[in-house]
Amino acid sequence: MILLLWVLSFFGQIPEKQDTVSLSEIEVNAAVLERYSQGQKQITWKKEDLSLVGSQSLADLLSVQSPVFIRQYGPGMLASPSFRGTSAGHTAIFWNGMPITSPSLGQSDLTLLPVFAFESASLHFGSNGALIGNESIGGSIHLNSESKFNAGSTFLFTQELGSFGQFNTQAKGRISTEKLIAQSKIYRQFSENNFPFRNLALPETPIQRQAHGQVSQWGFVQDFGWKITSNKKLKTSLWFHEADREIQAPLGSVTQDQQQDQSLRWVMDYEQYAAKSTFQLKTGFVVENQIFNKSLNRTKQFLLGTEWDYQVNPHWFFHLGARFIHQIGELSTYQAVDQRVELFQSVKFEPAENLNLALNLRQISYDDQVQPWIPSLGMGWTFWKKGNQELKLNLSAGKGFKVPTLNDRFWFPGGNPDLLPENSWTSEAGLEWKSGKLSQSLTGYHMSVDDWIIWLPQGNIWSPQNIRKVRSEGIEYQGTFRFPTGKVKWENQWQYSLNRAVSVRKISDNDSSVGNQLPYTPQHQANFSMKAKYQSVYLLLQNSFTGERNVTADNPRTLDAYFLSNLTMGFSEFALGDFKIPIQFRIQNLFNTEYQVLYLRPMPGRSYHFNLSIQL
C-alpha cells in the first residue's frame, strides 16, 4: 500500500492542462498492450466482427475463428482454452483490464462469457508475464467494453430461436454524448439442449436425446463514461451474470449434477491525459459464487492499480504501473486470503518508423514469495516496403508464471502450501507479409513450461505437485484476402496451426508418456472462412478442422479428427420506418458431423438458428 501511495503521490504532480493526448482515448488498456507487446502474435475482433456472433459465447467464437483449442465438455458446458498445448489455467483473462479468472480454480469457463457482453476481444499468444501478469503462460484473452463519446444513441433488440430449444433474447440501449456515455445491456440465453446423439455406452448404440443438459443464462452489463474535462475521464462497468446448468454427464454415467454460477464484476477507471503522458487509476472487484449440487464455493477479488504512460520524444515511451490484489476464498472445504503486489515497467524504443523494440519487466510478491525478475523483450521491424507490399519481422521472448491457485494451496484435504509458481519461457519469430488486399503471417514458437502443477493421488488423497515439465513447439500460419468481383465483396480468412507439445520429465518411475503429445492437444488445427457481401445481403461460410487428440499421453486411444462447417445468411438493411430490422439465418454443423471434442462427451449435429433484430 505504501508503494501504491508513493506511486500516486508521484503521479499527482502531472501537469493538468494539456491539449493533446498520448494514448488512444478510446481504450487505454488495449492501447498499452498494443504499444508494448511488440513482436508477439495477436488476433483482434472488433465490434463489427463480434456482431455476427452476438448470440454465441466466447467459446464458440474461439473454437471457430482462432487457433486456440477449446476443450468443451458438451454444448453449453464447461469450455476452457488451450493456447499452444498449455492447460486451461495457463491463460490470463481480462475484462476491461480486470483479471476475471477464478482465484480458486485458476481458470475461466468461456461458455459463461457471452460475446454480447463486450465490444472487442483480443488474443495475445505466448508467455508474457511481464506485460500481462499472472497466468499469461500460453497466452491471454482481453475483453473490452466500448466507451466512445459523441457516438449518438442506439437501441437494439435481438431475438434468436434455434434448434434444441434455443431461445436467446438480448437488448441494448446506448446514449453517447460529448460528455457522457451510458450503455445498458440485458440478455437471456436459454437452451433445452435436447440434441440427439448416439449413446455409445449402451448395447446397440441407440440414438437418444440429451435429457440432462439444459442451460439457462442471463445477465446485464452497465457501462458508464464521463468526460470530466477534456483531459480527465471516468468510466465504469458493472457486469452481472448468472448461469443455471444441468451438467451433461459423460456417456456411461448417470449423474444428474446441477451447477449454478453467479458473478458480479465491477471496474472503474479514472484516466487523465497530458501532452506526453497518460495516467490511470483502476479499481474493481469480482465476486463469484459457484453452487455445485448445493455445495457453495465463493471467491472475492479486489483490485487497486495505477499506471502511467509517458512519451519522452517520438522515439522513447515509458510505462510504469503498480497493482494490488486481495483475494478471499470461502470454499466448501477451506477459507483463505491471499494478497499480491505487482510492479511493472515497460520501455518502447522506436528508432525509426519501421522499427519498434519493447522491454517489459514485472515484480510480484504473494504470500511470502517474491518473483523479482519477470522479463519480456520484443521487436517489430518492417524491413521491406515497396508500393503496397511490405514485410515485417516480429521477434519476441518472454517469461510467464502462474501463482498456485487457492485450491492448489489450501484445498482440504490435499492442498499443498509449498507449491512453487509454474513458470515458462517462450520465444517466437514471425513474418508478416502484406501485399495489397492479401496479408499473411507465419509464426514459429518454442515454449518450455516447468513446475507445471498436477494433482496426483497420494493414497486416498489427491494433492497437487510441481512435477510436469513440457516443451511446446509449433508454427501458426494465417491469412486474409479481401477483394471485390463486380458488386460482390469477398473476405476470406484462413489459419493453420501445427503444435507439438510433449512432456519432457517423468512424473513417476513408470511414466511412459515422455516424448508423447499431451492429452487433448491436437497437432493440427485449421480454419477457413469465406464471406461474400452483395449490397446488404451477406453469406458467410466458416469451416474448421481439428486433428486427432490423445485421451492420455501414453494411451493408444485417440479421438477422431473432425471437420465442421457453419453457414450464415443475413440481410442487414431491411427497414420499417425508422426501425432497421437485420435478420440472420444460420446453420451450424452443416454436414451433421458426429464428433466429440473430449472423450465420451457427444456434441450436437446440425442445428438451425433464426435471428431477428430491431435497431433504432
Partner 1 sequence: MKKHLFQSSKLVVILLILFSCTENQPEVPRGEFESGILILNEGAFGSNDGEVFHLDPSTEELKPNIFESANGRPFAGLLQDIVYENDQLYLVANTGKIEIVDAGDFTSTGAVTTDLDQPRSLTVNSGKIFISDYGPYDADFNTPESYIAVVQEINGGGVSKKIPVSRKPEDLISVGKFILVAGSEEGMVEVIDAKQEEVVETIEVTGSPKVFFETNGIIYLYAIDASEVRFYSFNLENFTIASTDIFPISMATGKIASGNDGMLYLIRSSGFPDYVDAVATLSLSNSTVNPNWHEGSGFYGIGVDQIRGEIYLANSNGFQGNGTVTVLDESGNEVDEVEVGRGPSGFLIR
Interface residues with partner 1 (CB under 8 A)? 200-203, 205, 250-255, 293-295, 413, 454, 456-461, 463, 507-508, 510-513, 519, 551-557, 599-600
> Which cell numbers in the block locate residue 414?
490435499
Q: How far is the CB of 451 from partner 1 (least distance, A)?
A: 16
CA distance 557 to 553: 9
Pairing of strands 91-95, 139-144: parallel
Q: How far is the CB of 330 from partner 1 (least distance, A)?
A: 17
Q: Min. distance of Cβ 203 from partner 1 in angstroms?
A: 5
| Residue 371 identity (one-letter amino acid) | Q
Question: Which three three-digit cell numbers place residue 456?
Answer: 496426483
Please check whether residue 128 is in contact with residue 122, taking contact to mean a CB–CB distance below 8 angstroms. no
CB of 358 to partner 1, least distance (A): 38
Q: What SS3 class is residue 29?
A: helix
The span from the CA of 240 to the CA of 95, in Å, is: 13
Cα 173 versus chain centre, distance: 25
CA distance 483 to 18: 43
Closer by beta carbon to partner 1, 118 or else 411? 411
DSSP per position, 190-204: EE----EEE-TTSTT
Element housing 564 (H / E): strand 562-571
Q: In angstroms, give the least distance from the CB of 165 to partner 1.
A: 24
Nearer to partner 1, 332 or 493 (CB): 332
**C-beta neighbour count of 611 within 10 angstroms:** 21
Shortest Cβ distance from residue 101 to partner 1 (Å)?
21
What size, in residues, is the chain?
616
Shortest reach from residue 73's CB to partner 1, in Å: 9
Longest CA–CA separation in the chain, Å: 77
What is the phi/psi pair of residue 289, to 5°?
A: -115, 130
Least distance to partner 1, CB of residue 217, Å: 23
- Distance (Å, whole) CA 237 – CA 145: 8
Give the residue with the Cβ less far from partner 1, 165 or 250.
250
For residues 364 and 133, give the distance between their C-alpha atoms in angstroms, rounded to a whole number: 9
Which is nearer to partner 1, 9 or 510 (by Cβ)? 510
